[in-house]
Amino acid sequence: MINGLITGGNKVKPIFCFLVIICHLLLSNSFSSASEIIGPEVKLQDSEIHVTTALSLDENHIRELRNGIKKEFRFYIDIFRTWKMWPDEFVVGKIFVRNLKCDPVKMEYIATSGDGSTLIEKRFKSFESMVRWAMSVNNLKLANTRELEPGVYFIRVTVESKIRKLPLVIRDFFIIPISENEFKIKNDSPFFNVGTVK
């Protein structure tokens, strides 16, 4: 009590400590991700650009999935054209949203994949087969080289992991907006030529 007023400090302390812990967990997840992108591997065949890539999850994400925590991953697979005097130019790309959920009690493993027009849902007999399917993009036909101008190109793969939504009371507490990404990583392919490059 200060000057006859009750400050309520005893009630504020537990809430403040809880928010500090939540903030710490969010920041530690954002900066400590050891997940990595494998590839991308690029193959030019019959005037088509084929891309193969995968995401290797770290032990923390594997453990959370096994414990039944749902995960969402977004794969951005984009073609960029390089220029000597200008920034790299985005040409075309595709997005895949992969959702994974596991019921450790019922031993159910379900994953979905959507590209904006098609949604595929698959059930798996094992956790490993679910992760292997959901974290891989195999032999994707990304573009036809006849539709591209001659030049030097590369493929960029970006993967985002979305965090679980926080309660409104926690989100409204923070003045600085909290990132919706648990992590965001990218990797580029080697350069390749399309057509005759001058």
Q: At what angle do helices 127-134 and 59-66 cross, to 10 degrees?
A: 120
Contact between 61 and 71 (Cβ < 8 Å): yes
pLDDT at 162: 77
The Cα 166–Cα 101 span in angstroms is: 18
Predicted pLDDT of residue 21: 47
pLDDT at 3 > cutoff 90: no
pLDDT of residue 35: 86
- Does residue 188 carry a pLDDT above 80? yes
pLDDT of residue 183: 87
- Main-chain phi, psi angles of 180, to 5 degrees: -80, -5
DSSP 3-state percent helix, strand, coil across the chain (nearest 5): 25, 45, 30
* CA–CA distance, 92 with 43 (Å, rounded to integer): 17
Q: Under 8 Å CB-to-CB from 56, ≥6 apart: which residues?
A: 35, 36, 37, 38, 135
**CA distances to 77, 79, 141 from 115, in Å:** 11, 17, 13
In angstroms, what CA-CA distances link 105 with 71, 102, 127?
18, 9, 13
pLDDT tens figures, 13-31 = 555 544 544 444 444 444 4
Q: DSSP code of 117?
A: S
Q: Output the CA angle 49-116-48, nearest 5 degrees.
A: 10
In this prediction, residue 38 carries a pLDDT of: 96
pLDDT band at 33 (very low <50, low <70, confident <90, very high): low
pLDDT tens-digit map of 103-144: 989 999 999 999 999 999 999 999 999 999 999 999 999 999
Which of 33-42, 89-98, 113-122, 144-153 has the least mean pLDDT? 33-42
Q: What is the DSSP letter of 145?
A: G
pLDDT at 174: 46
Residue ranges of domains in the chain: 9-194
